[in-house]
Structure 1
């Protein structure tokens, strides 16, 4: 969980934007060409650069571009000024200075001296949407997406390389099924454009394969990665060989990740080596070069080729000073620690584990700050909008006052007709105002519900992350403790925490935050217990049957702990001196209550078994949680052990 979670976060930055694979230019030639031109020609020169080159020179343009605002060639031409401000907003966006980017774009939209064409307004909305997405202001993203949809219905051209903003938004909210459906719809739209870039469709299928991998659908992910390679071979290999090499290298690196998830490290290694070979020609992609090498080192470690793993990690260290993504550094520290642990260098391994956990904790704190900061940013942006609205309202009031004077003069001539018109006008304005107020309130309610849903999903996600961190700390304590009894206690505590964490994971992946689908949850819980207690000498089969039963979180958590204790006891005690066994877990609903039945074909319970005299934490926990569920516990020996618990669903938090 920890290993691929970190790698997924670090690599997603590369994968979602791997579509832009155009060639870069020597740095000195770019600076010299830019410096030799006048102000407006510098803007035109910047516009013609491909996105990859703009990203490579982001610091240079971020420093030099704002100085052009004082140039007379730009100040004295409104058309040049608007063109310059569009380019300046992109410079801020690429650098990550989203506040300045938004302010520049809003200044263009509010400029009354220049009327934007539909195409220019579409480009402005797309740029605003990107900045709001990077600030996690999702309600603003949805609002702008609605305006973009209106323009597209009118036939206004939509920038092709902005096709996946909405699917990215769903992915960031962990709604991977929606992200996949949205991206498929976006690909269908792209295929309608005969003038599309031959690079964009293969890149989109790469993104689709990546979303399936996030959703743990490995077979579909492989299918779309291979589809991306087929289209690249057909359309890119001859026309754009450098873009072809970069995209296929990236796709094969992504496929290597899937093979690693299947523990097929031998197959993953040549794919990663090809990806690294392609990346070696791109000196600006330090993040992609580092992440591919870290995974390659991990593959060698899994195959116990420790010398090769060590050599690759040493190569990674040259990229670390140039990487600003902390998740990649966490992944590096974790991989280094696991290699040192395998080499029996325990103290050094522990030091790198500590670095990884500290940095990971720092990332969580930064994410919380960013979430809170996003609300503060939204507040300041709304303040600016309110100030502009107040100024426009003042102008409207002044115009209305002048109009009232004129109407008063005309009233003398057409008194009766005017009174009729005024009364009709007042009624119409009142109705319009009431409609506007209702619409505004409905909009606020919808935005509030959307924000609360996002925050609730984020809460479950953070609870799961914190529980996983506690589980990791217990694992560290277990690794450095030599007392077998204490190690057993830590292992059992880790398993109990894991059973609760899986509940929160199921909730933040679900569209329904109130109830947990227990069949999928039990399958995941049983898999986790099997990984902990299964060994090569024994084969224990677990059969789960929970039908379509869903339980609220107040019932799910104590029930998950009961199931964890019973299955763990079966793995530990039921199959002594046996090479295989079977455990059946069945959850069913009987009228107004539920029945949990767990049985195994093991050695059975001892004669005169009485859990009240055991002084066992596990059975004490089972009996206490059964009582909390207002349930009844029974057991019997019948070709093994069978434990039955009938219980009621808890409707309120006690």
Structure 2
């Protein structure tokens, strides 16, 4: 459901104005002035008729709906009507088409629809295919409620419009309508047909050298997004971005492209990459004074920072927007800023500040609004706030409201979130049995959504494969036709030779018969050999297919194992978090240390099932993510700096987990003991690999480790864990104190991973 809502938003973004592409060949201001000057001269009546109607359209399509423009348009229509008798169906159809535009712009939709139907009736059967197609398109604009029959009617009208343009020179208009039809088919979940139509639109645009293709590429991205192929979606959206930037597009379409790219990065769990695109979109929304877009983008940016646990930057962004544009935002969406503040202060656990915004939202009486998504978000944040502040009665009340909305929307993402919130609330209240049941339900929906996403990707690959197969079959048929022609010519030559053979002597015939008998014998022998060979080839092919299928099943099963292990480890972390709420001092510290160690292992399994290579983990991407998590967990963003020099070292799970736990222990010890009195410092992590060995160095410029503790038999758990893990790796580990602590681990690569 959530993906469908995002796709609907994408499609609504694409249609800024029906004729934003100028498919009616509308006049520029300079052209309109020139036409007005020349129309009073010696001009033939048909040209005057066309000129008046073009001036009428110029006034109708001006930005806004000023009464003076509408009156001017009506005046030009009356002048056109007086010039030529309307017995000619082409002229009368053209006139009624322009009237329909005027009525629709003025809000007189019933009159406009009647005029469009008249235009269609009059232009059918004429040679004016251009205005006939526009009449179909104009009539389709009156199907606003895209549900059921209305949607089917609009699709049918667009198909007829495109059909009427077949064989004409109006390729730009045809390409535009193909794209519009593709959007409609996607809205009824016929993605394969939509993909075919948008490809036809792109090919048609390219055939006439049309450059403004950002809308087509954006639609491609949206379709791939719906299919679950997010990397392909992002590729097309970035192509749309480059195309629009090359054309210096500063319209709201550029804003929408940036926004969709940011959303796609978020789905790919690359929110840091998405935030700059949201900010670019926000700048364009400000230039165009689009308050609705400003509100949407603010929510996207703040949500991204919150998901990254960068709560301070989220707060900075909210305050910046509030300072720049508070009045218009409050009138457009009074819930937005209080909701953003409440969510961020909840995440910061600054509940005294969160209280103010919870009370503001309650005063706004958000229940009963048309925008149920906003209502759901507010209920969710109030549930979190009252859970954190131990007001379980109100937490239960708003959680029930959130559940009710999620069930009504049938949104699996929101339903999943309610189960997780129920788990948190029951854990804090001590209802552990119910908490576990809610957590299991949360996991079940998460797995279902994960499998659904993978199924869509597989379906997309199957469609692509079937298309390639069909194209291959067509090529093979063409090749077979050529072969048949060649065989036919060869048979004719053989007939000629046969006629010559009849004229040879009896002796020659006898010799020929002997040769034929020998050839028949050889042919039968060859057939026998070929039959045996064919049987062996079929058997080998079947075995190869079986082995390939077993290999794929093994890979999927292994990926699923990693996924399940990651989920189970995450469940353990959740249970530890719940238990931590009742602990203090050393017990709490032990629980938090365990959470960090389990997260390090969980991240390994997450990396394995999210990449194509399910055997190895690239430490150059894994270690920075692990270090970032530890830095956020200990609140060391501003206190310490990190220097990372990590080669693309790929380790199997048997080596990756011990290394991750060693890094976790070493950096945690640096956070706790290396820097005192809020002193700032640097932690360096170096990992290098040559042909024989891998070397990992973790050092800081703090107070330095006490070597007596290192050599003491009664060491801390962290030191014993690092030494024990080094023994598992068959690695050499050294501890040094020279201007700080330096830990060096040297080990050999796993020979099975390099095979």
Q: For residues 381 and 290 of structure 1, do their structure 2 counterparts lie closer, same or farther at Cα, with a shift above 3 Å needed?
A: farther
Q: Which runs of 5+ in 2 are unaligned?
A: 17-108, 121-134, 166-172, 483-555, 580-587, 612-616
Q: Which runs of 5+ in 1 are unaligned?
A: 1-7, 23-31, 398-457, 481-486, 532-539, 575-579, 637-641
The residue matched to 1:146 in structure 2 has which SS?
helix
Q: Distance in 2 between matches of 1:326 and 1:94?
A: 19
Report how far residue 367 of structure 1 moved: 2.7
Report how far residue 304 of structure 1 moved: 0.7
Q: Is the 8 A contact 1:523 1:544 kept in 2?
A: no
Question: Residue 129 of structure 1 corresponds to which residue in structure 2?
Answer: 221
The residue matched to 2:744 in structure 1 has which SS?
strand
Q: TM-score, normalised by structure 1?
A: 0.60
Residue 171 (1) aligns with residue 266 (2): yes
Higher relative contact order (CA 8 A, sep 6+): 1
Report how far residue 262 of structure 1 moved: 0.4
Output aligned runs, 1:39-188, within 5 Å.
44=138, 47=141, 60-61=147-148, 64-67=150-153, 74=160, 78=164, 86-108=179-201, 118=210, 123-137=215-229, 138-139=231-232, 142-143=235-236, 145-146=238-239, 149-150=242-243, 153=246, 160=253, 162-164=256-258, 165-187=260-282
Q: Distance in 1 between matches of 2:631 and 2:724?
A: 21
Report how far residue 299 of structure 1 moved: 0.7
Question: Residue 450 of structure 2 corresponds to which residue in structure 1?
Answer: 364
Q: Distance in 1 between matches of 2:224 and 2:3?
A: 20
The one of 394, 408, 413 equivalent to 1:308 is 394
Q: Distance in 1 between matches of 2:467 and 2:237?
A: 15
The residue matched to 2:660 in structure 1 has which SS?
helix
Report how far residue 515 of structure 1 moved: 1.2
Question: Residue 599 of structure 2 corresponds to which residue in structure 1?
Answer: 498
Residue 623 (1) aligns with residue 738 (2): no
- Please say which structure displays the higher CA radius of gyration: 2
Higher deviation after alignment, 103-112 or 257-266: 103-112
Q: Distance in 2 between matches of 1:33 and 1:387?
A: 52
Report how far residue 168 of structure 1 moved: 3.2
Q: Distance in 2 between matches of 1:564 and 1:383?
A: 51
Q: Distance in 2 between matches of 1:171 and 1:117?
A: 34
Q: For residues 77 and 228 of structure 1, do their structure 2 counterparts lie closer, same or farther at Cα, with a shift above 3 Å needed?
A: farther
- How far does the alpha carbon of each residue in 1:583-625 deviate from its partner, in whole angstroms, 9 at most, with x for none? 99965769995555799999998999437xx999983773342
The one of 277, 283, 288 equivalent to 2:374 is 288
Q: Distance in 2 between matches of 1:69 and 1:158?
A: 28
Question: Residue 534 of structure 1 corresponds to which residue in structure 2?
Answer: none
Q: Distance in 2 between matches of 1:231 and 1:48?
A: 39
Q: Is the 8 A contact 1:301 1:309 kept in 2?
A: yes
Q: For residues 123 and 625 of structure 1, do their structure 2 counterparts lie closer, same or farther at Cα, with a shift above 3 Å needed?
A: same
Residue 561 (1) aligns with residue 661 (2): yes
Question: Residue 472 of structure 1 corresponds to which residue in structure 2?
Answer: 570
Q: Is the 8 A contact 1:212 1:221 kept in 2?
A: yes
Output aligned runs, 1:149-548, within 5 Å.
149-150=242-243, 153=246, 160=253, 162-164=256-258, 165-187=260-282, 197-201=290-294, 203-230=296-323, 232-233=325-326, 241=331, 244-245=332-333, 248-271=334-357, 277=364, 280=367, 282-283=369-370, 285-380=371-466, 386=471, 468-475=566-573, 495-502=596-603, 513-516=618-621, 521-522=626-627, 524-525=629-630, 528=633, 547-548=643-644
Q: For residues 270 and 652 of structure 1, do their structure 2 counterparts lie closer, same or farther at Cα, with a shift above 3 Å needed?
A: same
Report how far residue 126 of structure 1 moved: 3.4
Question: Residue 30 of structure 2 corresponds to which residue in structure 1?
Answer: none
Q: Is the 8 A contact 1:506 1:521 kept in 2?
A: no
- How far does the alpha carbon of each residue in 1:242-278 deviate from its partner, in whole angstroms, 9 at most, with x for none? xx12xx5234423322212101234335545656847
Q: Is the 8 A contact 2:376 2:405 kept in 1?
A: yes
Q: How many residues align?
A: 530
Question: Residue 517 of structure 2 corresponds to which residue in structure 1?
Answer: none
Q: Is the 8 A contact 2:221 2:236 kept in 1?
A: no
Q: Is the 8 A contact 1:517 1:549 kept in 2?
A: no
Higher deviation after alignment, 291-300 or 370-379: 370-379
Report how far residue 307 of structure 1 moved: 1.0
What's the RMSD between the two structures over aligned residues?
A: 6.1
Q: Distance in 2 between matches of 1:10 and 1:271?
A: 31
Q: For residues 147 and 123 of structure 1, do their structure 2 counterparts lie closer, same or farther at Cα, with a shift above 3 Å needed?
A: closer
Q: Distance in 2 between matches of 1:72 and 1:516?
A: 49
- How far does the alpha carbon of each residue in 1:19-51 deviate from its partner, in whole angstroms, 9 at most, with x for none? 99x9xxxxxxxxx989x97888996577479xx
Q: For residues 371 and 267 of structure 1, do their structure 2 counterparts lie closer, same or farther at Cα, with a shift above 3 Å needed?
A: farther
Q: Distance in 2 between matches of 1:563 and 1:150?
A: 44
